[in-house]
Every structure is written in structure tokens, then in C-alpha cells.
Structure 1
Amino acid sequence: MGMDALIFDRDVTFWYETLRSLGHIAYGGADFGEVMATAQRIVEGDYDSWHDEWRATADRVAAHAERSLAAGHRVSARDGFLRACTYYRSAEFFLHANPSDPRVTDAYRRGVRCFRTAAELSESRIEPVAIPYGDTVLPGYFYSAGDGRTPRPVVVMHNGFDGGAEEMHFFGAAALAERGYHVLTFDGPGQPGAIHGQGLTFRPDWENVIGPVLDHLLAIPGIDPERVALLGASMGGLLAPRAAAFEPRIKALVAFDGVYDMGAAVAGHFGGDRDAARAALSAESAPEIDEVLRELMAGDPVMRWAFTHGAWVTGARSPREYAARLLDYHLRDGIAERIACPTLVCSAAEDFAFAGQPEALYAHLTCPKTFLEFTAGEGGGAHCQSGAQRLAMARIGDWLDETFGETCTASADSGASPAFTALATS
């Protein structure tokens, strides 16, 4: 995973989620002592224990922030609310096998409330937005740079399988806002704000999500339509490229990290025959497959969590139906080849979730492309470079700076920027 486990060495999910919180320290989303003191109280593999300890820490930190705010200490209050937001997100993370559990909704709402209060207290302009989407809206945040009169580049960002727009503050929004970019973060279908608020589940045709988001964005004064980037984190490293393949208004793409085919492992169990896999998994009754999935979930902590969370966010009625739905999430059949804008594919050398997927995506791209691997030796080998956010955002930000700097003065079909040619092999 890019860093030896400091704790939870028998449960990769518990350790990764701890590392994920530790990574958010870089942009004010956690404190080392708070994270480790909480983790040390948790019973490994026990979801209730995980919730109870993170919820206790979140409540304590939020209460301190409230007292700071009441006393007029705005900076302390802002910092506390940002940390509490992370801890509330963590508290409900493993409870999604039963999404109607009141602990899930309560912790989620408290986390959002903490983030919005922190945003109000921030020196940066961070405004909640409601993006029209069909007959409803998608929630998000707009980070405004400049005075709105001079057109500036913008980065649209979204999370992946299990994270929300609030977390994107620590996964890139704060970093790119520092560089002078407008930033728009949002939750699409299947992501926390949309599934909690409207019951919207994931859809593979993500271009039909990004389209309305761009309609909303480009109506905001001060946006340069020729410098619109899209960044997708984790599973967003598949969804964002899917959107870019069909949405020409995207002028630069960051797959953080890259994903080519979410259904590859599922199809592999059927010899690569996707039609056979779909038929077997979609059958009205398949007790032998159900038993295999139960054993897989019982013996693998990653599968235990992923299949229960995945069923909720995709609208599947069972782990088997969830596995079938994964087959629809891919960039096969010429989709990746349709992407025309400059694309940065990030890769984590020890990614436990998507090993080999960034390489597969990169191999299928025909656009100007750059491959950027983060290694364990530099501390960035974990999924989405958790634990190395400053490192990751420096390199991603530099690529965006140089890509958009070139497109201002040169044709958009030029290759990767000179500073990155050593990493590109196209």
C-alpha cells in the first residue's frame, strides 16, 4: 500500500482508512495525534468499534470548534471543523451494509455541516452550490479565484466509489485553489451528497453527469472555457475519462489514479467472457455463485466492505447483482481512444485496489498523454497517494500549470509539457 502499516496489520481496509485520514493532515483535515489515539482504541475488524471511536473523536473536536467560535476564535474554529469533518466521514464509513442505520446519516450530515461552517470561516471564497441535474440538483462547492473579471482556468473535481465533495478539499481543491485556479467540486450519482440527498445511484455514462455540471460552471463569470480541467479520484479515475471521451468542453484530464475496467476481475472469473459473466450473475437464482461471494467476503476484508458498500451505491439488491453491474464500468470498446484532450494518468506503485489499471488506461489512450507513477520509496505508493497529498498535488498542479500554459500560446494538440517528457512514452 505504499507504507508499512503502523497499526491494523491484519486488516488492510482499517489501515488504509487510517492512512487516508493521516494524509488529510497536509491540508488541515486531521491531526496525527488525534488519528493515532483514535485508531489505537479500535478493535481491529470490528465495524461498530470503528464507528464508536471515530464518532467520539469527531464529537469532541467539533465541540471544541463550537466553543472556539462562540469565543470569537475563528481560526481555531475553522481548523477544528475541518478536522471534525474528516472524523465524521470516517465514523460511518464501514456501516453501509445497512445504509438505513441512523448512525450513517447522522455522522454524514454532521460532517457536511462542519465543512460548511469551516468554509464560511475560511479566508478563501468557498461557496456551496446546487447544480441542476434533471429534476433535482447535485451538491458541491465553488472555490473562487480572482475578481471574476479576468478569465481564469478551472478544475472540476469529484471523488470516487466512497468519498464526497467535502473530502476533495483535502484531495486537491485546497491545493489547486492555492495556485490560482477556480475549483468546482461536486457529488454525482452514487456519491454521498447525491445518494443521501436524492437516492441517486451510480451510472456508468458519466458524460451525462459532467454535461450539466459544465453547463452550470460555464455560466459563472470569470471562467476560461479553453482551460477547463476535469480530475477524478479513485473510481473517479474511470468516471472522469469516460466523461472526457464524450465531452469536448473538457480541455485537460487527470485520472487520479487511472482505472480502465472495473469489471475486469469479475469477467476474469468467467474466463474473460463478459456475456457469460453477466448472464450467470444476473440469473434469478445462482446459489453456487452466492456461496462463493459469501466465502470471498468472509475471508477478505476488502471484499467484505466493497461488496456491501457497492450494493448500496449502485442500487444493487445483492453482492451478486453488484458484481454484475461492475461489468458496465469500463473504457473498453474504443471509449478510451475517443479522449482527445491532454491526459495525466497517475499510478500508485502499491495500490491494493486498482493494480495494473493505470497502465491499462494509459496504453489505450491516443491523446497527448503523461504517465506519472508514485513510488513507495517516496511515500506515495498508496492508493490515490494517501499519505502524500503535498507530493501528489505538487506534481499534478505542475502538470496542469504547464499544460494550460502551453494551450494559451500553442495549439491544443501539442504533446506533454517539456518537464514531463521523461515520463511520457507516447
Structure 2
Amino acid sequence: MEQLLFPGNPQFWYETLRSMSHIAYGGADFGEVVATAERIEEGNYESWHDEWLATADRVAGEAQRALDAHHTVSARDGFLRASNYYRSAEFFLHGHPCDPRHDHAYDRSVACFRAAAALHTPRIEPVRIPYQGTTLPGYLYRADTTGAPRPTLIMHSGFDGTAEELHFSGALAAVERGWTVLTFDGPGQPGPRHRDGLVFRPDWENVITPVVDFAESLPEVDNSRIALLGSSMGGLLAPRAAAFEHRLAALVAVDGVYDLGAISVRSIPGDRAEAERRLRAGSDPALDARFEQIIAQDATARWAINHGMYVMGVDTPRAFSAAYLDFTLRDGLAEQIRCPTLVCDAAEDEFFKGQPQELYDHLTCPRTLMVFTAEEGAGAHCHPGAMRLSLARVLDWLDDTLTATP
């Protein structure tokens, strides 16, 4: 899709398109997004934060006034949009160390979402999922108030998404179709990273198994029909979990990722073994200088490396790239997945191009590859701008896969 705003900065444009995509399920208004974007200085993280924060504060204030006047629908809608705008405000603040302004915007995003959640019917319930001596934050969505067991979708994001954002990228759409939905943040994702300092781990099965345990304890969950959906980097994490957690009845990767290590080594001269050796070496000044050059020249890489150091809990760009090497489905892991699997692919993916096909090619379970195109407005990574289209196809696949038998 042509960059309609921020023509010289693809990362700023993608994040603006991401906010626009949430219009479909109440997470933004077009005029609010465009008016905010027009005030932002291209490439300036300070300007990005300040303008999105100003919009979020204004919308949240209006929502609160609506709530005080007992206009609950208006309040719910306003809090949802404000939550998403606060999320956008803190998006580029995750360097090493993390900008302290991140705390305020993140906390406001969560608070506004919870205010909106309390005004939904049925109420969206915040939950704490037991996990290794602490808990993971999440939300339980019920299709109705009967307590009847229903097919259930567990959802998590990836490198930079939040549990709250999942409301707009699948949770509400699934509830509309009669599903129970459980969303959560895992280690490295905003809630656990922000609250407990938990960083990403490649063995995601040790995250998903306690989440499935928790889901099975809920009366609204049909234990024989639990599906897992991972978005973005979650398109690798969820398949990794499914390779070991065989209680899952279906798996969706939006979009599929096979090997993050391939991304780490692609700009390093020599073969992969040599590139991996250099990434893991105690010292490599030449490679460190190369990373600094990439950060200076590539806006997307600058953000990804800064954020990556934060979510992986490391101090240098090279250490972040080395951490990526462990996030892979190579060595027969993809082949261990048993449940029916849907791999989504975006034809113009700027982050993981080619990876969905590679994951699909290694699967030995029942499998489907679903490609979204630029002509449909869905060609970008995770299909922002075409949420109704993409979620309809994904959730129809899940319905066909899991609900054929009443």
C-alpha cells in the first residue's frame, strides 16, 4: 500500500496504518488518526509521543465526562480509542534503558481499556493467569452470560503488541461469532515486561501450557476445542508452543514465522555458521560498528533494535541479534505440530517476507496457507487496513475446523 503519510519513514507510516486498522473494531476514528499524524514531525520520536499523548488525553477526558453523565456507550467507545492512542504514544519509547514516559502512557492505556471492558455486555473480565510464581495479565471474553462451554480462542501478540490491542485484531471478532476468547501478555510482552521485568523466552510451550491449564478451569471453555492464535512474532511463538502442547485443537499464525535467526544473519557477510559465531562472540568491534551504521541509516531497524534490547533484556544491538538465533522452528520443531494449522502470509510483508511459506513447507500436520494481497488492501504485515477481511477469513477457517460438530 502506498505511504499516504510520512513518505520518508516507513516505520511511522506502518504504525499510523496500524492505528487506522483498529477503526474496524472501535479502536480509532479516521479523523483523529490523520489529525494526529499531521502534527507529528516525521522521524521524531519525541513528536510522535507528544502528539499521540495529546490526542489520547483529549479522548480519555471526553470519555470520562460521558461516563460521569451516564452515557455509557459513548464512554465505552471513547475509552477504547484512548487506550489505543496511549499505546501508540509509548510505542517508540522502548530503548535501553526504557524512557520513563513509557510508564505513564502504558498505565493509561491499560486503565482506559479496563474502563471500557467494564462497560461491555457481557463484561470483559481482567484475569491473572498463574505462571512460575507470578501471573500473566489477560482478559476473558464471554459470548453470553449462560456459562455454557464454547469453542475457545487463546490469543497473544508478538514483538510489540499488547493484550489490550488484541481486542481490535481478533478478540471482539471471535466473540461476535460465538467464541470464548482468552487474551494475554507473555514474558517479554508489555504487561510482564513492564510489571515484573520478564523478558522473552524461546521455549514458548512453557508459557502456553499454564495458559491452557487456566483456560481448562473455566466453565465457558470447551476443553476439546481450544485454538491458539499468535500474531506477528507470535507467528513463531505460537507454533513453537504447539509443537509441544498437544491439547490444542487448532493453530493460527498471523503471519507465519519460521526462523528469526535468518533475520539476524542476513546483513552479516559469510555463511550462517560464521555469522552466528560472530553474533555470540565476546567481542567483535567491526560487527558492532556495522550495527551502529544500520541504526543510523534504517528507521525500521533503529526502532526494532532499540525495542529488541528492551524486550530481550540485553544491552547491545549485537546481543539482541544473538538472542534472535534461539527463536526458531528449525531442527524438526515445526514437524512436531499435530493440530490443523493455518499459516497467514502478507504479500508485501516488510518484516518477515518469505517466512510464512517456509513455515508452511515444514509442516506435516493438516495445513492451510492463506495469502493476503495488496490489491485487497491487506498486503502489509498482519494486514492492517483490512481487519474485517482478514479476520473473516481466519475465523471462518477456525469455525470450519473446530465447529463442524455441535
TM-score range, shorter chain: over 0.9
Q: Is the 8 A contact 1:277 1:324 kept in 2?
A: no
* 3-state DSSP of counterpart to 1:204: coil
- The CA deviation string for residues 203-244 of structure 1, in whole angstroms up to 9 with x for no partner, is 000000001111111001131111100000000000000000
User: How far 1:123 sits from its partner (Å)?
Assistant: 1.7
Q: Is the 8 A contact 1:154 1:183 kept in 2?
A: yes
User: How far 1:272 sits from its partner (Å)?
Assistant: 4.0
Alignment of 1:274-289 (within 5 A): 274=273, 276-289=274-287
1:261 & 1:272 partners in 2: Cα distance?
Answer: 16
1:62 & 1:9 partners in 2: Cα distance?
Answer: 30
- Which residue in 1 is equivalent to 2:56? 58
Does residue 231 (structure 1) correspond to residue 229 (structure 2)? The answer is yes
Displaced runs of 4 or more, over 4 A: none
The residue type paired with residue 74 of structure 1 is T
* 3-state DSSP of counterpart to 2:282: coil
The residue type paired with residue 15 of structure 2 is E
User: How far 1:98 sits from its partner (Å)?
Assistant: 4.1
Corresponding residue to 1:304 among 299, 302, 305: 302
Alignment of 1:268-347 (within 5 A): 268=266, 269-274=268-273, 276-347=274-345
Please, which moves more after superposition, 21-30 or 121-130? Answer: 121-130
Alignment of 1:13-92 (within 5 A): 13-92=11-90
Change (3 A) 1:293 1:100: closer
2:215 & 2:271 partners in 1: Cα distance?
Answer: 40
User: How far 1:148 sits from its partner (Å)?
Assistant: 5.0
- Which residue in 2 is equivalent to 1:4? 2
Does residue 250 (structure 1) correspond to residue 226 (structure 2)? The answer is no
The residue type paired with residue 136 of structure 2 is L
Q: Is the 8 A contact 1:148 1:221 kept in 2?
A: no
- The CA deviation string for residues 2-41 of structure 1, in whole angstroms up to 9 with x for no partner, is x111101111100000000000000000000000000000
User: How far 1:124 sits from its partner (Å)?
Assistant: 2.9
- Which residue in 2 is equivalent to 1:117? 115
Please, which moves more after superposition, 148-157 or 335-344? Answer: 148-157
- Which residue in 2 is equivalent to 1:194? 192
- The CA deviation string for residues 41-91 of structure 1, in whole angstroms up to 9 with x for no partner, is 000000000000000000000011111111111111100000001100000
TM-score by length of 1: 0.93
Runs of 5+ unmatched residues, structure 1: 410-426
Quote the sequence identity (%): 61
* 3-state DSSP of counterpart to 1:384: coil
Does residue 185 (structure 1) correspond to residue 192 (structure 2)? The answer is no
Runs of 5+ unmatched residues, structure 2: none
- Which residue in 1 is equivalent to 2:239? 241
- Which residue in 1 is equivalent to 2:212? 214
* 3-state DSSP of counterpart to 1:246: coil
Number of residue pairs the alignment of both structures matches: 405
The residue type paired with residue 257 of structure 1 is D
TM-score by length of 2: 0.98
User: How far 1:246 sits from its partner (Å)?
Assistant: 0.4
- Which residue in 2 is equivalent to 1:101? 99
Corresponding residue to 1:135 among 120, 133, 136: 133
